[in-house]
A and B are shown apart, each in its own frame.
Chain A
Amino acid sequence: MSVIDEDEALIAAVLAGSPQAWEKLVKRYESRVFNQGVRLMGSRSDAMDLLQEVFLGVYRNLHRFRGDAKFSSWLFRIAHNKAIDLNRRKRLLAGISVNAEWEADPLASFSADRQQEPDMSLMNSELNQRIVEKLSQLPLAQRLVVELKVFQSMTFEEIADVQDISENTAKTRFYAALKKLKQTMEEEHVLP
């Protein structure tokens, strides 16, 4: 049975009221969603919030899933939207303009958030910490494209679908993000 078939079987069981099927379905994707949350939000606690919101969203909307797309794509669309919502709420609480973060360089505000977050110390490797630091210097829109393309191995077509943007915009954002990351790495090598 393929992953897609297994997902569909589990979804059918969940809709029939099986808690075991629900737990199995969550277990299949929780690690991917959580790690995505750490990379996008910059901390484990925010990633945990995102994880819970995503699966609550999945649970509430599972009956609307028609199976015309992959469940993983549908799930990551929800995760994408929840990440934007969570990020917006965080920024509103911190008194920072949402549009400014979305379009422009979020470095200052994100770094400030991160410094206040003791949970960052729980990152399980220095390598992960460096990756999060680099990603945190990207605007959320670019960060999301990098996440979907690099870590979730989506095509630009799928990314465009998830983000409701054109494929070309997705490609442009991805290229811009990689260039920015490369520049950051070069600066890091010059000033370690």
Chain B
Amino acid sequence: MSCPKTTHLLQEYFSDSLSMHARKEFEKHLFQCEECRVELDNLKLTRRELLAWQDQRVPHWDRGLEIFKREHDVASKSTGLFSGWQWAPTVASFAMLCLLLLDTSVSVNDSGFEIYFGGSSERAGIDQSLAVFEAQQTEEIESLIRRFESRQASNNMQLLQAIMERTQQSTAESLDGIYVYFEEQRLQDLQDMHLGYQQLADSDYATLRSLQELAQYVSFRDVER
């Protein structure tokens, strides 16, 4: 570096407090001195390369809020026992306990709301509601039963008609069969009876012949005597 002004001038160049006059002098020198001009360009380039930095995202952290809150909570506690909200959970628990022990209930209706203690009126109300509900349920069940019965009766009628139709057909067929069977049996019985009579007649004829032979024999013996 041969220019004696380079260091001083470049040190001042980045100063924000450089006067207008000094800046003009500086630019005049740069116009004449290539060495200083090149050096300044290099430094500017270096600064530009640094400024290409891309901001990194900050990792998650609590930002010191824990310490902040803790220390400020400690400060507020020192003002008195009842200054903070620390009793709120206890009070809420006590109120809930009282409500449970007194069996407190709140009823909301058209005229506003009513608070009951002990629960008797509430029970009466509940009983009334239950009775109404039961009546409704009974009515609904009866209606259902009626509908079921009528539907069942209709089904039965249809079923019976179907069975009867089928039975009529089968009965007619059966009667024909029976008639044929009876007819066959009658004919067979007639034949049997005929045979029986025939046999009986034959038997009677044989008996007559025996009697005749016996009578002839007897008459023959009488003659011999």
Contacts and interface: CB of A to CB of B under 8 A. Distances in A.
Candidate in A51, A146, A151, A182 with the most chain B CB atoms within 10 angstroms:
A182
B68 interface: yes
B168 interface: no
Say which size band chain A's interface belongs to: 35 or more
A59 B67 contact: yes
B17 A156 contact: yes
Nearest to A147: B50
A34 B53 CA distance: 13
Nearest to A158: B16
B42 A27 contact: no
B52 A38 contact: no
A131 to B, nearest CB: 6
Interface stretch (B19-27, B54-62, B96-104, B211-219): B54-62
A156 B15 contact: yes
A149 B65 CA distance: 31
Contacts of B43: 175, 178-179, 182
A22 B46 contact: no
Nearest to B10: A175
Contact of B64 (A31, A56, A155): A56
B72 interface: yes
A52 B64 contact: yes
A6 interface: no
A134 B72 CA distance: 44
B75 interface: yes
A39 B51 CA distance: 12
B22 to A, nearest CB: 13
B58 A51 contact: yes
Nearest to B12: A171
B68 A59 contact: yes
Interface string A23-64: 100110011001100110000100010011001100100000
Given A56-B67, A156-B15, A175-B10, A131 B53 contact: yes
Contacts of A34: 56, 58
Nearest to B49: A185
Contacts of A23: 63, 65
B51 A55 contact: no
Interface in A150-192: 150-151, 155-157, 171-172, 174-175, 178-179, 181-182, 185
Given A131-B52, A151-B53, A178-B47, A157 B58 contact: no
A59 B70 CA distance: 13
B113 interface: no
A19 interface: yes
Contacts of A2: none
Contacts of B51: 150-151
Given A34-B56, A44-B59, A127-B52, A181 B46 contact: yes
Contacts of B7: 175
A123 interface: yes
A182 B51 CA distance: 14
A187 B45 CA distance: 15
Contact of B54 (A51, A127, A134, A155): A127
Interface of B: 7, 10-12, 14-17, 42-43, 45-47, 49-59, 61, 63-65, 67-69, 72, 75-76
Shortest beta-carbon contacts, A-B, top 4: A26-B63, A171-B11, A34-B58, A175-B11
12 contacts: A22-B63, A23-B65, A31-B57, A34-B58, A48-B61, A59-B68, A125-B54, A127-B54, A131-B53, A150-B51, A156-B16, A182-B45
